[in-house]
Structure 1
Amino acid sequence: MNWQELEKRIESDIIPGRTRILKANGKERRLVTFNTGRKIGMRTGVNTYQTKAITYEMVRDAFNTIEVRGRFDATDFRRSFDKEYRDGPCRFSMTGGILVELGVADLVSTETSQRCYYIPKQTKAQ
């Protein structure tokens, strides 16, 4: 899959009010509140209506990093989007979560869920 194909899937498959994006702990999900074709908004928690947004550019950067390095972690995200990370560290897992939702990446989370990273989707042996 290339970026143009993935971008089309983001536009069609990430549906506000319906799609829920996997959080870093690998258990809970965030509700998508908007998808403008440039930005995607999600609720920050279960009991709040507060939202944070990520950009398609962030998703493209994560996708390219996984394609080239075979892994995407918070250090990679901060390298390209330091201000946005400092404003809301959850943006890292929101970005990776989009790739998981679309079947492009798998989440690898530590036992304590304090750290996670994303790798290319592992295909199952047939």
Structure 2
Amino acid sequence: MKTQEIISKLSAWTIQHSNDQYARVVSPCTFGEDGLCIAFTVVFPTPNTFALTDHMEHWLQSAQFGAKWDKNKQQYLNQTHGIRFAQFNDDGEITAQGELSLLNAALSDALKLALALSFKFPKWLPKFNLRMIGG
């Protein structure tokens, strides 16, 4: 196998489902240590625009361990350095929308937000839960 082929497969997103109106895209990164890959749904309301969401999946996953969502955590995560095209909304959902030309940047920023939550949420757990996830 050629080096270029090997490298191109290292960090590829996977399309799980798709049609002309939406796509379910799965990143090569996992959320925390449970092995679930970070994923987003992208809808195409017009031929030149997109809207992206994680359906609160990543926040709900952290909440299963006991993490609580509040405005301070939302603001903290939304201030992750380099994030411009995606954000957590008030409910804990990662969202983005815009021109189709910004989709790659929005997916990258949404992934960064999910990873930021993945790295940070263990510090927001009640003390007794830390033992459950190896903290």
Task: Give the alignment's TM-score, normalised by structure 2.
Answer: 0.28
Structure index of larger Rg: 2
Task: Give the alignment's TM-score, normalised by structure 1.
Answer: 0.29
